[in-house]
Structure 1
Amino acid sequence: MLKFVDVERDMPEKRSAEDRRDDHHEIYRQFADEKAKEQAARCSQCGVPYCQSHCPLHNNIPDWLRMTAEGRLREAYDLSQATNTFPEICGRICPQDRLCEGNCVIEQSGHGTVTIGAVEKYITDTAWEEGWVQPVTPAQERAESVGIIGAGPGGLAAADMLRRQGIQVTVYDRYDRAGGLLTYGIPGFKLEKDVVMRRNDQLEKSGVSFELNCEIGRDVSFAELRDRHDAVLIATGVYKSRDLGGPGAGLPGIVRAIDYLTASNRVTFGDSVPEYDSGELNASGKKVVVIGGGDTAMDCVRTAVRQGATSVQCLYRRDRANMPGSVRETANAEEEGVEFVWLSAPKGFTGDDSVIGVKVAKMRLGAPDASGRRAPEEVPGADWTAEADLVIKALGFEPEPLPSLWDAPGLEVTRWGTVKADFQTKRTALDGVYAAGDIVRGASLVVWAIRDGREAAQSIIDDLDRRASVPVAAE
């Protein structure tokens, strides 16, 4: 270990921008065995590992780096799996530059961070190849059942934990495939879909039941779910897109990011997507403008490039330094030909039968707002128009009004519409009902959803155990 002084940081080979613009395959190649050992050996084995403390799952990163450097890959995988339900997914899509790698001690000393995400991906891909990832086989089956609403990362992480304890689990989801945004929101060039599908298959073989194409409040009532199961976990995520106003906001050609990305991902599955075939959700041959600065905006601009857009611009109201999206993803998008227009905000849209342009206000950063970030303010008289045949709104997501949709007035929500749940136990105001993930904390990272799902599962297990230990009163 401690080779960071002599061995420089090295990432897996990245496919050239020209090569990767034409497909939806992942852009980073796999580490070779010796290269993974070499890079893992750069870890300084800190007494206080900031990489671990800044990981939402508190993964034992230094330990599995050392095991990798020593060639003990089976042990490294077992250790990573102990704290992370989906390490092969986090190794691909976690913003390591903001979390573990961004807090690596040797990075602070000028030697370049350990490539933690790439090593994690190597460990878990090797585990799948070697057959070390096996379906869960609980030591004993239990009679209690739990219904989970939402087959995204939070719900699936909870399902895995519950099945390990022998609890019967049914996952309900409105889509025809499990995975949530892992399946339909994140493009294949960041997360190839067979990676998600094999994990879904493994969960099904572990005894998790899936009821897909099932929308709560339409196909089954929330009250009925509570009657069916001993506990219910709400892990729906947040899918309601934030909207834009202004003149022309309702013109055809202005679409939501979630619709656009879902259509693209369905096409990669081989599904028939009429909105894609008609051009409504297809960037081919179009001038594309994406509005937003988060990871969803990065997914949209890079998808548009692959669909054959003639130009792709990303408008963001703050500057590069204040952009919420991953620095790494922004750099990848620029390599692929995306133009970022900083300090720009839409004021309206032009066009008659369809959008042909975005009216853009030039912005500047003023005094800090309540969050501590410098607030953008308009520069008078500096408006301009960006040509556009397709405008994609990537402004973030908000929760749907679940109490009214599900006829559950007792389900308490915050003023932002997120479900109120205890921070530690994930219990809601309704008996036997728990909530976790984005529907509680707001739109966030996959790794946080996994943590929340695991914690909710443990809380459910504890409560079921407590209930089972209470003696039944004699009549």
Structure 2
Amino acid sequence: MSGQQMLKFVSIERAMPEKRDANVRRHDFHEIYAEYAHEKAREQAGRCSQCGVPYCQSHCPLHNNIPDWLMLTAEGRLREAYELSQATNTFPEICGRICPQDRLCEGNCVIEQAGHGTVTIGAVEKYITDTAWEEGWVEPIAPAVERDESVGIIGAGPGGLAAADVLRRAGLQVTVYDRYDRAGGLMTYGIPGFKLEKPVVMRRNEQLEAGGVEFVLDCNVGEDISFDAIRGRHDAVLIATGVYKSRELTGPGAGSQGIVRALDYLTASNRKSFGDDVPEFDSGELNAEGKRVVVIGGGDTAMDCVRTAVRQGAKSVKCLYRRDRANMPGSQREVANAEEEGVEFVWLSAPKGFVGDPVEEVVVQRMLLGTPDATGRQTPEVIEGADYAEPADMVIKALGFEPEELPKLWGVDGLEVTRWGTVKAEFTTGRTSIPGVYAVGDIVRGASLVVWAIRDGRDAAQAILEDLAAQPAVAAE
């Protein structure tokens, strides 16, 4: 290791890639951060302290070898940095864009805890792989050996695609079934373009398809094909459906016109960006233009909704959250970006009911934080007599997601689920109660992060390979 290239945190301050001006970026769906210039990436990577116990790596769900690829970047050995980065991560350029680094790797950076700004790990990770694509270093999927065994994957989100990548590289025949007309799951239809531009996702889909992964799209399991039929076609089945059932609002008027689900709203916006025909958007039902928008929730989906509404030309955008800023589950960086773009956050507030049909007002009740619950978080309590009316033409429900009842939906006997409705699966392998059936990602964990789904998909793929290893491979001709 070249000593002069590292430990620069004492003399060089943290610097993110340039962020586009809020007054400019609020009018389009392009990503808000520019790309690092080569020298800036080297300089920022060189701020890594190369500490003996890298907390950044241990707090990364994929345990990416962050210190080593930072060192290689600082030394200008970018292709080696890319090879090391992609060795543990199927989609490093996607994680570099959408991971909440402030809660994971960067949030546990040793030099930040020592009083210096954290290393910009996510931005460097994005830069490394974007450069690899530009330079042609990302090689096609080309298995050395073709195997006869096949795996059916239900769900083309990050967990399913990560597993498909690992299994196909090992030579297995892989078919991915998905309800949507494009692969990618929430990466395609849930996450807005200003966080993850869609060509980045489509490029990975194309790589998998070119590498021999078969996609069966517009396919609803339980309707267009039965779960048993999929099991009959394949030697193993991986369930990676995610969780799409929205938590609902309660209270008077909760079913009024103008109150919409976050996923419906975000999907319509993303479809529009693809140039699709979206009647619900064109009619104004799922379009915030000119409206007073109130988003209810405090997670990353709520942040996606408020920032999308701004870009659609909403008259005003407010976000109601029942706890305070310090206790919200969404990324603090996303909150700051939203505030810069004109979103108003109304902390310690929750909806009590709705007036009008179509909706005209949200009856808001003020909250305070009381005693901690079993998890240690303070419980929101209503302040009696402090209700007020918030004008609204559109209310977006971003209260989180729950699993669909898969055994009932698919008519599957023997698939065990938890009391929360998630599929019971063995930790690290994804094995379920049915032999040869595995499950990964949000359908096992509940609503979680893309990076955890990638981790689960890669782990389950390894377990599938081990379980099928007794069958002999056939050399490709």
- Range into which the TM-score falls when normalised by the shorter chain: over 0.9
2:362 equivalent to 1:358: yes
Q: Deviations over 1:220-278 (max 9, x none)?
A: 00001000000000000000000011000010000000000000000000001000000
Asked whether the equivalents of residues 428 and 456 of structure 2 are also in contact (C-alpha less than 8 Å), the reply is no
2:435 equivalent to 1:431: yes
Tell me the SS of whatever aligns to 1:117. helix
| Segments of 4+ moved more than 2 angstroms | 466-469
Give the aligned partner of residue 417 of structure 2. 413
Asked whether the equivalents of residues 317 and 363 of structure 1 are also in contact (C-alpha less than 8 Å), the reply is yes
Structure 1: distance between partners of 2:413 and 2:261: 29
Written as runs of structure 1 = structure 2, the 5 A alignment for 1:204-219 is 204-219=209-224
2:159 equivalent to 1:173: no
2:462 equivalent to 1:458: yes
* Structure 1 counterpart of 2:225, one-letter code: V
Could you tell me how far 1:424 is from its partner in structure 2?
Answer: 2.4
Give the aligned partner of residue 447 of structure 2. 443
2:228 equivalent to 1:228: no
* Structure 2 counterpart of 1:296, one-letter code: T
Could you tell me how far 1:40 is from its partner in structure 2?
Answer: 0.2
Give the aligned partner of residue 129 of structure 1. 134
Could you tell me how far 1:425 is from its partner in structure 2?
Answer: 1.8
Under a length normalisation based on structure 1, what TM-score does the superposition of the two structures give? 0.98
Tell me the SS of whatever aligns to 2:153. strand
Tell me the SS of whatever aligns to 1:194. helix
Q: Deviations over 1:84-121 (max 9, x none)?
A: 00000000000000000000000001111000000001
* Structure 2 counterpart of 1:156, one-letter code: L
Give the aligned partner of residue 302 of structure 1. 307
Structure 2: distance between partners of 1:453 and 1:236: 12
Give the aligned partner of residue 472 of structure 1. none
Structure 1: distance between partners of 2:125 and 2:168: 24
For 1:184, which of 189, 202, 222 is the aligned residue?
Answer: 189
Q: Deviations over 1:60-99 (max 9, x none)?
A: 0000000000000000000000000000000000000000
Could you tell me how far 1:466 is from its partner in structure 2?
Answer: 3.5
Q: Deviations over 1:333-364 (max 9, x none)?
A: 0000000000001001000x300010110000
* Structure 2 counterpart of 1:376, one-letter code: P
Structure 2: distance between partners of 1:466 and 1:141: 15
Structure 2: distance between partners of 1:309 and 1:103: 37
* Structure 2 counterpart of 1:151, one-letter code: A
* Structure 2 counterpart of 1:382, one-letter code: A
Could you tell me how far 1:409 is from its partner in structure 2?
Answer: 2.4
2:51 equivalent to 1:66: no
Q: Deviations over 1:420-439 (max 9, x none)?
A: 01112211111110000000
Q: Which segments of 5 or more consecutive residues in structure 2 lack a partner in the other structure?
A: 1-5
2:4 equivalent to 1:2: no
Structure 2: distance between partners of 1:135 and 1:458: 20
Structure 1: distance between partners of 2:25 and 2:82: 30
Structure 2: distance between partners of 1:37 and 1:216: 47
Structure 2: distance between partners of 1:441 and 1:145: 26
Under a length normalisation based on structure 2, what TM-score does the superposition of the two structures give? 0.98
Written as runs of structure 1 = structure 2, the 5 A alignment for 1:19-58 is 19-58=24-63
Asked whether the equivalents of residues 134 and 202 of structure 1 are also in contact (C-alpha less than 8 Å), the reply is no
Structure 2: distance between partners of 1:53 and 1:206: 32
Structure 1: distance between partners of 2:120 and 2:453: 23
Written as runs of structure 1 = structure 2, the 5 A alignment for 1:117-156 is 117-156=122-161
Could you tell me how far 1:52 is from its partner in structure 2?
Answer: 0.2
Give the aligned partner of residue 266 of structure 1. 271
Tell me the SS of whatever aligns to 2:438. strand
For 1:83, which of 78, 82, 88 is the aligned residue?
Answer: 88
Q: Which segments of 5 or more consecutive residues in structure 1 lack a partner in the other structure?
A: 470-475
Could you tell me how far 1:219 is from its partner in structure 2?
Answer: 0.5
Tell me the SS of whatever aligns to 1:391. strand
Structure 1: distance between partners of 2:147 and 2:296: 49
Structure 2: distance between partners of 1:424 and 1:301: 35
Identical columns (%): 79
2:288 equivalent to 1:283: yes
Structure 2: distance between partners of 1:467 and 1:413: 30
Could you tell me how far 1:325 is from its partner in structure 2?
Answer: 0.3
Asked whether the equivalents of residues 153 and 446 of structure 1 are also in contact (C-alpha less than 8 Å), the reply is yes
Structure 2: distance between partners of 1:162 and 1:259: 32
Tell me the SS of whatever aligns to 2:468. helix
Q: Deviations over 1:132-176 (max 9, x none)?
A: 112211110000000000000000000000011000000000000
Give the aligned partner of residue 473 of structure 1. none
Structure 2: distance between partners of 1:142 and 1:439: 29
Could you tell me how far 1:467 is from its partner in structure 2?
Answer: 5.2
* Structure 1 counterpart of 2:20, one-letter code: R
